[in-house]
Amino acid sequence: MAIALALIVAMLVTGGVWLLLRPRSWSVVLGLTMLGYAVNFFILLAGRIGSRQPPLALEGAGALADPLPQALVLTAIVIGLGMTAFLVALALRGVAARGADTDDADRIGEGPVDDDDADMAA
């Protein structure tokens, strides 16, 4: 079971890195989100959330599950949601400013030309 869970984390990381290396801004947003999910899942696995220890104290209960990984993941989810909203707004602003979703528009002769750049070249 531990090998299957480790493979799931590895697939999430691999997919996230692959999406990060794509030239489109939406792929970068999805890749960072996928990496965030992988880190959250890894923290939960490291905290042994699947153990048979109860997360809440009951009368007569012995050992309890560690609440720290759960609190860290909850905080990471909130921060990740804020960062995803910021990245989506940044990507929309980039598409509106450049008229393209790819990073290839910055190459010479392919993207919009700024008047200041044309004056400097002449």
Length of the chain (residues):
122
Half-sphere exposure of 79 (CA within 13 A, CB side): 11
Distances (CA, A) of 121 to 40, 98, 101, 111, 116: 49, 20, 26, 16, 9
Burial letters for 2-11: b for 16+ Cβ neighbours within 10 Å, e otherwise?
eeeeeeebee
Domain locations along the chain? 2-51+65-102
Model confidence at 71: pLDDT above 80: yes
Q: Which CATH class is domain 2-51+65-102?
A: mainly alpha
0.95 exceeded by pTM: no
Q: What is the pLDDT of residues 91-107, one digit of tens each?
A: 899 888 888 777 665 55
Least confidently predicted of 16-20, 41-45, 74-78, 104-108: 104-108
